[in-house]
């Protein structure tokens, strides 16, 4: 009986170790909370970090938390990247927060829905140095209601 307990305990520890080894480590994570669930058109979030290994791959996520008071299906974003050599790239991103029938795509059973969008599944920053990302809402509402939090996450690949 003692050997069986030890075997079960050892199996549990091994299984726990295997699952934790499969978890990707976080390189960078930052979330900004919006006061009164309102994102002003002129407000920009800035995220910056330093790349020291230009051969490392990452999974790049955008995190959006919205309330059920959000009035639209999509969230459009202006996404600016400043590279270490000072060049700048600007993209417009589209995040789908609800489907065509109005069902929220995010997780959560209450009025707050958590969305995690995979922006790039395998990105490599080819220049060593400081990267700066600037994000603004692009919905044409001066004060966009219903967004509670916004952030980015980079996981080691």
pLDDT in tens, 23-72: 579 999 999 999 999 999 999 999 999 999 999 999 999 999 999 999 99
Mean pLDDT, the chain, integer: 89
How large is the average pLDDT for residues 97-118?
97
pLDDT value, residue 24: 74
pLDDT value, residue 83: 98
Is the separation of the CB atoms in 122 and 60 below 8 Å? no
What domains does the chain contain, in order, with CATH numbers? 24-156 (2.60.120)
SS3 109: coil
Nearest residue to 42 via CA among 13, 78, 18:
78
- pLDDT tier for residue 98 given thresholds of 50, 70 and 90: very high
More confident residue, 4 or 150: 150
- Output the CA–CA distances (angstroms, integers) from residue 8 to 3, 17, 152, in the order listed: 9, 14, 40
Confidence check: pLDDT of 7 > 50: no
- Measured CA to CA, the distance from residue 70 to residue 76 in angstroms comes to 13
pLDDT value, residue 153: 98
Please provide the DSSP assignment of 5-27 as one string: HHHHHHHHHHHHHHHHHHSPPEE
- Measured CA to CA, the distance from residue 90 to residue 100 in angstroms comes to 28
Looking up tokens 């059920």 gives 68
């Amino acid at each position: 009986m003692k050997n069986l307990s030890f075997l079960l305990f050892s199996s549990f520890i091994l299984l726990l170790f295997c699952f934790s080894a499969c978890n990707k480590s976080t390189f960078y994570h930052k979330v900004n909370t919006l006061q009164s669930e309102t994102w002003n058109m002129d407000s920009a979030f800035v995220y910056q970090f330093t790349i020291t290994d230009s051969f490392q791959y990452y999974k790049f996520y955008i995190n959006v938390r919205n309330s059920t008071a959000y009035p639209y299906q999509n969230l459009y974003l202006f996404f600016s990247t400043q590279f270490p050599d000072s060049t700048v790239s600007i993209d417009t991103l589209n995040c789908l927060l609800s489907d065509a029938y109005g069902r929220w795509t995010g997780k959560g059973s209450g009025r707050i829905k958590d969305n995690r969008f995979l922006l790039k599944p395998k990105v490599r920053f080819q220049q060593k140095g400081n990267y700066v990302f600037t994000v603004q809402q692009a919905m044409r509402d001066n004060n966009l209601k219903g967004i509670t939090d916004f952030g980015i996450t980079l996981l080691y690949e």
